[in-house]
Amino acid sequence: MKGGFQGMQQQLTGILLLIAALGMPSAALATDNRACKLLTAAELESVVGGKLSAFLGSTYGTGDMCTASSTTVTVMLRLAKKEQAGAAAKSVDMLRKMGARIDFKTFGLITCSTVTPSRHMQNYGFKTACSVSKASEVAAVEVRVKNQKNMVSIKELHPLADIMVGRF
C-alpha cells in the first residue's frame, strides 16, 4: 500500500508541474502579468456594477491573460502579440455560423464588439469587448455575463479601452 501511495503522490506532483508549465491561472502571477496591469479593479467595478474577485493571471503562448469575476460577471484582460490576435477573426466566424449576433463599433485604434448568443448558445453568455492595437501588441478587455439585462454596453466599456491605450 505504501508504494501505491508514493506512486499516486508522484503522479500528483507531475500533474501539478504540468499545470504550472501550461500557465494555468495563479494568483501569484497577477503581479508579474502585464495584462493584469491594463486596468484596475476599481476601474472595472465602476463599469460592471459590483465587487470583483482578485485578479488571476496566466500566460498563453507569448501573451498574458488576467481574469476576475463576481456572481454576475466575468472580466478578462488580455495582452498578446498581433500574430496571436488572428484567432479572433476565426472565433467571430464560428460564432456567426452558430447563430450569434455580433456588432462592432470602431473608435480610431479601438474596436469594440458585443456578442448576443443565439437561443441554443445561451451557455456562452453575453459578451462586450474592446481591443486596441499598438506596435506589435493587442490589448483587450472583455466582460461576459449570463443574462442580457446585466450586459455592459460598448458606451460603458469604451472609456476603459481608452485607459488601456496608455498602459501598454
Chain segment 111-168, per-residue pLDDT in tens: 999 999 988 887 889 999 999 988 889 999 999 999 999 999 999 999 999 999 998 8
Helix (H, G, I), strand (E, B) or coil at 48: helix
The pTM assigned to this predicted structure is 0.77
The domain ranges of the chain are: 25-165
The pLDDT tens digits of the residues spanning 88-119 come to: 678 888 888 888 999 999 999 999 999 999 88
Question: What gap in Å lies between CA 77 and CA 41, rounded to an integer?
Answer: 11
Q: Grid coordinates standing for 50?
A: 459590483
User: Is 34:55 a contact under the CB 8 Å cutoff?
Assistant: no
The CA-CA-CA angle for residues 139, 46, 133, to 5°, reads 15
Q: Grid coordinates standing for 17?
A: 508541474
Question: What gap in Å lies between CA 8 and CA 142, rounded to an integer?
Answer: 39
Reply yes or no on domain 25-165 having CATH 3.60.21.10. no
